[in-house]
Chain A
Amino acid sequence: MSKITNILVCGVGGQGVMTATEILAEAAISLGFDVKKTEVAGMSQRGGVVTSHLRFGDVVLSPQIAPGEADLLIGFESAEALRWSHMLRPDGVALVNSGRIVPPVVNLGLFDYPEDPVAQMRALGLTVHAFDASSLAIQLGNIRLGNTVMLGACADRLPFPAEALRDAVLARFGTRKPQLVDANRGAFEAGRRAVAGEALAATES
């Protein structure tokens, strides 16, 4: 059987995890791949855990990624990336938003938020590229752009050209609100550069 690409996107309800995965799926579809995407939704919309699985290749059978099988783990929130790190292949890559969303149970003092989820993942021997996508999005003018920043961050780690993903992002926002196209193009490129290690200052212009 030919190689299947497995991408696991995780985060917190309301962050746009499902939309981001949908856009990744659209890019893969546009290139003629067989694609399956699955998620656990339901009550997770109320600030709970959200994961979305994306698999594409010649023929995809099961929609679910098994533990240790994800090529790419995209974490929209740091503790969530840590929670799902066992899904990653030993040679896979995690792209993590180092921004945090602290749940009520932590605020109430019932549980602790891990001190440094990214460091913990690295200590497990995983390859992690982390940056504060939430702050970057706020600096770009809208926290909602965090979604596109994260997609930009994974654009150069896909088995297809980054432009296919960028087109899918712009197509999605362009049809809804044309004025958002430029903002999203900027956010996409900012994410791409941020993960390549460039300082945010360099992205401003």
Chain B
Amino acid sequence: MPATQTVPAAARMFLSGNDAVARAVWEAGTRVAAAYPGTPSTEILEILSRYSGLHTEWSVNEKVSMEVALGASMVGARAFCAMKHVGLNVASDALMTMTVTGTEGGLVIAVADDVGMSSSQNEQDSRYWGRFAHVPVLEPADSQEAYSMTLAAFELSERLKSPVILRLTTRICHVKGVVHTGERIEVEPKGFVKDPRHWVMVPGNAKPRLPSMFERESAARAEAEVTPLNFQVDGSDRRIGFVTSGPTFMHVREAFPDAPVFKLGLSCPPPLESLRRFAATVDAVLVVEETEPLLETEMKAAGIACHGKDVLPRIGELAPDVLEPAVKRLRGEVVPEPEHVPPQQVFPRPPTMCVACPHLGVYYTLSQMRNVIISGDIGCYTLGAGHPWNALDTCISMGASMGTALGMDKGRGKVDENKKVVAVIGDSTFMHMGMQGLLDITWNRGNVTVLLLDNRAVGMTGGQDNPGTGRDIHGEETARVDFAKLCEALGVKKERIRVLDPYELPVLFKALREETKIEEPSVIITNRPCVLIDHYQPAKSYTVEEDRCTGCGNCIEVGCPAIHVTRRDKVVKASGKEVDLSFVRIETSACTGCGLCVQPCAPEAIVHADPVQSVQSVQSVQFVRK
């Protein structure tokens, strides 16, 4: 349980970008910080929750987290919210109007783009939001800057009375570097000032505020031309001058130490006049920006000739090994053959579900069903799309399993009329955005069977608490959602709601078969916890009795990573049909005895292991939670 701890004193620290942001948010005297977990931004709030002197929370979704931050700002407190890039899509409704009201207490929005897509469903460029919402965007290049720019963002926010976006990327959030930190200042909230013309955004009040939004943007533009956050690094090799921001600054400096560089820290609004002057001092300009050609387009529109996506990729990170050959080609030089060994072909190692994961039973059951369309969602259970289950047909955005399932049900033609539509969603995703979709299913009489996998954690991001766990960000007890009651309140008939144990395969199978037959909305709630959370209780582990194993391979279909094939064979059946055999063993030290694989094993070859063998059930072969 993350108890509130004393914050380490100012020092030279080795911090990730997320750590550094958290530290600076705390030092800035922030009173309220909120977030919904999302890679790569999750750790910011996790770290902040251990600090004292401020309210921290996991909010149910990013939009709520932003509104919580805005409310705190309205009463004059410094406030903060953090999210991953797709989270800002969700929160944008709040953003697009808070830019009209402006803010009181400094309000900083950290948004982390997953450039390179290590753990996301898309790759998008959050710098656009600065332009769209007319708010300043700061882009740190490493942990030290993440720290100092967070402090600068609060100051800027209060001076301009505007929210400020702190744009991070995976290569900032998860990179550790040396940071010199300071101490917390206390900022006393000025208090709420009742002023409907400021805070009640009806057309009559909002219209007169629009000019102030643009005035503020002009002020930010003027500031961008003079701020020390935007600076130039001189260089002797003037063939190409680089314009860059964020982590690519470091990559450019690494790859081209002698080249002049214009580095943007306050990148929105862009300092176009400074960039024009810079461009005049070099032979050619190359804009190095990850994903979208945003600055490049703005510079070209301002009449500043530059290269950008004509030579650089639009996808993924622009690390030195990507930049070097591209720049060589631009200069008309030959790109030398690499001297190192070429990349070797090795089997893929996709992420998979954990040993004894409660989702295994669900996906095993779904994989055995015919004629189903399975609408999926965002979370660990997206892994059900992989081997051996191949039991997930769609995955779009948080909560989308509900709406897409309903749309499929309503839109299907003759070819699909005999198919069952199933939606699969996790507990936290359900509360984030899924429950509105379920309401839409019941209200519009959808024929959808919803599998609500309640594993009492936000599993994918490391097992954070949510309203279904009955614990807050500090692990302390609070109100707990009752999913069965909630689904009933959303209009699902009481008899169409079942709560069951996902380790009992026959029960699960029967429930799914029955509920998919009945032509009305139904919800099957599974009730066993994520194996990575502290409350998980391992049971006695299993082993395979070699002489009893017939090699049928049924247990492999469960997909538990503790089951390994020892030997393959082929036999010709009496019918003349050739069948493949796979004999198995169970990594007993990894098996936590969930009993799933025991059930499809007809010859009862899977038995409890000798207790002496099963010493450390959580050995490090895989899946040990830090």
16 contacts across the A-B interface (CB closer than 8 A): A12-B622, A14-B620, A35-B177, A35-B178, A38-B176, A40-B174, A42-B119, A46-B352, A62-B320, A68-B339, A82-B344, A82-B346, A83-B344, A102-B564, A108-B565, A124-B341
Q: Which residue of B lies closest to A36 (CB)?
A: B177
Binary contact track B329-348/A, C-beta < 8 Å → 1, others 0: 00000000011111110111
A103 x B352 contact (CB < 8 A)? yes
Number of interface residues of A (CB under 8 A): 69
- A-chain residues with CB within 8 Å of residue B320 when the two chains form the complex: 62, 64, 66
A126 x B341 contact (CB < 8 A)? yes
B176 x A25 contact (CB < 8 A)? yes
Binary contact track B167-185/A, C-beta < 8 Å → 1, others 0: 0001100111110000000
- A-chain residues with CB within 8 Å of residue B460 when the two chains form the complex: 43
- B-chain residues with CB within 8 Å of residue A29 when the two chains form the complex: 14, 178
Which residues on B are within 8 Å of A, measured CB to CB?
Answer: 14, 39-40, 114, 116, 118-119, 142, 170-171, 174-178, 247, 250-251, 253-255, 257, 317, 319-321, 338-344, 346-354, 380, 383, 387-388, 460, 462, 556, 559, 561, 563-565, 568, 580, 582, 589, 616, 619-624, 626
- A-chain residues with CB within 8 Å of residue B317 when the two chains form the complex: 64
- For the complex, give the distance between the alpha carbons of A171 and B251 in Å: 33
Q: Which residue of B lies closest to A15 (CB)?
A: B620
- A-chain residues with CB within 8 Å of residue B40 when the two chains form the complex: 41-42
Expressed in whole angstroms, the minimum distance between the Cβ of A15 and any Cβ of chain B is 6
B622 x A44 contact (CB < 8 A)? no
Judge whether A106 is part of the interface by a CB distance below 8 angstroms: yes
A41 x B340 contact (CB < 8 A)? no
- For the complex, give the distance between the alpha carbons of A29 and B388 in Å: 44
| Given A46-B380, A49-B349, A108-B387: A61 in contact with B344 (beta carbons within 8 A) | no
B388 x A108 contact (CB < 8 A)? yes
B351 x A144 contact (CB < 8 A)? no
B250 x A61 contact (CB < 8 A)? yes
| Given A14-B623, A34-B178, A89-B340: A26 in contact with B352 (beta carbons within 8 A) | no
B340 x A143 contact (CB < 8 A)? no
Within 8 A of B (CB), among A69-102: 79-80, 82-83, 85-90, 101-102
Contact of B340 among A82, A86, A110 (CB under 8 A): A86
Expressed in whole angstroms, the minimum distance between the Cβ of A99 and any Cβ of chain B is 10
B340 x A113 contact (CB < 8 A)? no
Judge whether A47 is part of the interface by a CB distance below 8 angstroms: yes
- B-chain residues with CB within 8 Å of residue A120 when the two chains form the complex: 344
B176 x A112 contact (CB < 8 A)? no
B621 x A108 contact (CB < 8 A)? no
- For the complex, give the distance between the alpha carbons of A86 and B589 in Å: 33
- For the complex, give the distance between the alpha carbons of A43 and B14 in Å: 24
- A-chain residues with CB within 8 Å of residue B353 when the two chains form the complex: 46
B175 x A37 contact (CB < 8 A)? yes
Contact of A46 among B253, B257, B383, B619 (CB under 8 A): B383
Q: Which residue of A lies closest to B120 (CB)?
A: A42
A146 x B620 contact (CB < 8 A)? yes
- For the complex, give the distance between the alpha carbons of A49 and B174 in Å: 16
Question: Which of A26, A41, A82 neighbours the largest number of chain B CB atoms within 10 Å of its CB?
Answer: A41
Expressed in whole angstroms, the minimum distance between the Cβ of A111 and any Cβ of chain B is 4
Q: Which residue of A lies closest to B141 (CB)?
A: A61
B556 x A107 contact (CB < 8 A)? yes
Contact of A26 among B14, B350, B589 (CB under 8 A): B14
- B-chain residues with CB within 8 Å of residue A15 when the two chains form the complex: 620, 622
- For the complex, give the distance between the alpha carbons of A38 and B14 in Å: 12
- For the complex, give the distance between the alpha carbons of A110 and B251 in Å: 38
Expressed in whole angstroms, the minimum distance between the Cβ of B28 and any Cβ of chain A is 25
- For the complex, give the distance between the alpha carbons of A90 and B341 in Å: 7
A35 x B626 contact (CB < 8 A)? no
- A-chain residues with CB within 8 Å of residue B319 when the two chains form the complex: 62, 64, 66
Q: Which residue of B lies closest to A46 (CB)?
A: B351
Question: Which of B251, B354, B561, B616 neighbours the largest number of chain A CB atoms within 10 Å of its CB?
Answer: B561
B559 x A38 contact (CB < 8 A)? no
- B-chain residues with CB within 8 Å of residue A48 when the two chains form the complex: 349-352
Judge whether A109 is part of the interface by a CB distance below 8 angstroms: yes
Expressed in whole angstroms, the minimum distance between the Cβ of A170 and any Cβ of chain B is 18
| Given A36-B176, A42-B40, A47-B351: A104 in contact with B559 (beta carbons within 8 A) | yes
- B-chain residues with CB within 8 Å of residue A156 when the two chains form the complex: none
Apart from A66-B321, A105-B348, A106-B347, list 20 A-B contacts with CB within 8 A: A16-B624, A26-B14, A29-B178, A38-B175, A40-B116, A40-B174, A41-B119, A42-B40, A46-B352, A47-B352, A61-B253, A62-B250, A63-B247, A87-B340, A88-B341, A103-B352, A103-B561, A105-B350, A106-B565, A112-B347
- B-chain residues with CB within 8 Å of residue A66 when the two chains form the complex: 319-321
A107 x B344 contact (CB < 8 A)? no
- For the complex, give the distance between the alpha carbons of A125 and B339 in Å: 12
A67 x B321 contact (CB < 8 A)? yes
B344 x A1 contact (CB < 8 A)? no
- For the complex, give the distance between the alpha carbons of A12 and B488 in Å: 43
- B-chain residues with CB within 8 Å of residue A85 when the two chains form the complex: 341, 344
A25 x B347 contact (CB < 8 A)? no
Q: Which residue of B lies closest to A126 (CB)?
A: B341
A144 x B344 contact (CB < 8 A)? no
Q: Which residue of B lies closest to A63 (CB)?
A: B175
Expressed in whole angstroms, the minimum distance between the Cβ of B184 and any Cβ of chain A is 24
- B-chain residues with CB within 8 Å of residue A47 when the two chains form the complex: 349, 351-352, 354, 561, 622-623
- For the complex, give the distance between the alpha carbons of A124 and B118 in Å: 29
Q: Which residue of A lies closest to B176 (CB)?
A: A37
A61 x B118 contact (CB < 8 A)? no
Judge whether A19 is part of the interface by a CB distance below 8 angstroms: yes
Expressed in whole angstroms, the minimum distance between the Cβ of A185 and any Cβ of chain B is 19
